[in-house]
Structure 1
Amino acid sequence: MADAARARKIAERIRVLVTQGLDTLVKDPRLGFVTVTDVRVTGDLQHSTVFYTVLGEDADRAASAEVLEHYRGRLRSHAGKGLGIRLTPTLEFIPDALPESAAHLTEKLRQVQERDAELAAARSAGAYAGEADPYRKPRESDDLAEADQDEGGAALADDRPGAAGTG
């Protein structure tokens, strides 16, 4: 078993070599715009999985998958020459689900943004159930003096316990 650091280094080198091989070796016009996103190598360095994406529609993806399968041996040979290790790992090409996941997340974010806009519109059209400011404010001294006098100008008796003038 190789250590994990060596496996990562070999996987990164395979990614670079396969990308170079796609540019130089593969001359098939059916090959679309292929991007190698990740390479994983088993612990014994015997097998590698190459994840890729293809820009375009389903037909382009299917055609590119056929081309990659057809050129798999040549790409493995190219990678083996560049790696310089005793045994060249086999290559397995797997389409990466990254674009579909990103499209799904983009759709969900768009839906959330629409809901937020609806809530903001409902919030701006809404009104308070009671007064706009439900908190009591202390009376000013002029308002207090007017409230303590009756219509004739006589002072009203203060019925509160402990108030001055009650006995």
Structure 2
Amino acid sequence: MAKHRPNRLAETLKEEISQLIRVELKDPRLGFVTLTSVDVAGDLAHAKVYISVLGTEDEGKTSLDVLNRAAGFIRCEIGKRIRLRHVPAIVFVYDPSIEHGAHIAKLLRDVEVSDDAGKDETHDS
């Protein structure tokens, strides 16, 4: 039973933080950010928010820096929106899983294309 509350809070935080990023944060340095997941500690005191950024590596680092600087504002806004005794400390972490998945998909497409080219050459003989 102790694991259900952190999971519920993580889902709620994910929804609220994505809404805040979309609507409230107006920093022009903030790129196209996607929240991939939120991990809340068992004691509900800390939350890691994993993000992915569409764009270059520099844009990703800049967006991560902007979000970590705005973490206090985001935490304050969450405190106003969600009824909690203590709002968890928020840390944003870069999540490379989307880029990794895209890279693997590209490799698989490349292998498929080279396989199709190899089959065409063997059937022509």
Cα deviation, residue 33, structure 1: 1.2
Query: 1 CA distance for matches of 2:10 and 2:61?
Result: 25
Q: Higher relative contact order by CA 8 Å / sep ≥ 6: 1 or 2?
A: 2
Query: 2 CA distance for matches of 1:30 and 1:12?
Result: 26
| Alignment-mate amino acid for residue 29 of structure 1 | P
Query: 2 CA distance for matches of 1:74 and 1:51?
Result: 18
Cα deviation, residue 118, structure 1: 3.4
Superposed, which structure 2 residues align to 1:97-112 within 5 Å? 97-112=96-111
Match of 2:65, SS state, is: helix
| Alignment-mate amino acid for residue 33 of structure 1 | F
The size of the alignment, in residue pairs, is 125
Match of 2:34, SS state, is: strand
> Structure 1 122/70 Cα, relative in aligned 2: closer, same or farther at 3 Å?
same
Cα deviation, residue 97, structure 1: 0.9
CA deviations over 1:89-116 (Å, ceiling 9, x no partner): 1111011112221222122212321332
CA deviations over 1:94-148 (Å, ceiling 9, x no partner): 111122212221222123213321331243135xxxxxxxxxxxxxxxxxxxxxx
Matched, 1:116 2:85: no
Q: Which residue of 1 aligns with 2:19?
A: 20
Structure 1 stretches of 4+ moved >3 Å: none
Structure 2 residue runs of 5 or longer lacking an equivalent are none
Q: Which residue of 1 aligns with 2:28?
A: 29
Q: Which residue of 2 aligns with 1:87?
A: 86
Match of 2:9, SS state, is: helix
Higher strand proportion (structure 1 or 2): 2
Contact 1:41 1:49 in 2 (8 A): yes
Calculate the aligned-residue CA RMSD, in Å.
Answer: 1.7
| Alignment-mate amino acid for residue 57 of structure 2 | D
TM-score, L = length of structure 2: 0.88
Query: 2 CA distance for matches of 1:106 and 1:31?
Result: 27
Query: 2 CA distance for matches of 1:27 and 1:125?
Result: 59
Aligned identity (percent) is: 34
TM-score, L = length of structure 1: 0.68
Query: 1 CA distance for matches of 2:13 and 2:20?
Result: 10
Structure 1 residue runs of 5 or longer lacking an equivalent are 127-167
Cα deviation, residue 59, structure 1: 2.4
Match of 2:37, SS state, is: strand
Match of 1:14, SS state, is: helix
Query: 1 CA distance for matches of 2:71 and 2:99?
Result: 25
Higher helix proportion (structure 1 or 2): 2
Query: 2 CA distance for matches of 1:42 and 1:34?
Result: 23
Cα deviation, residue 31, structure 1: 0.8
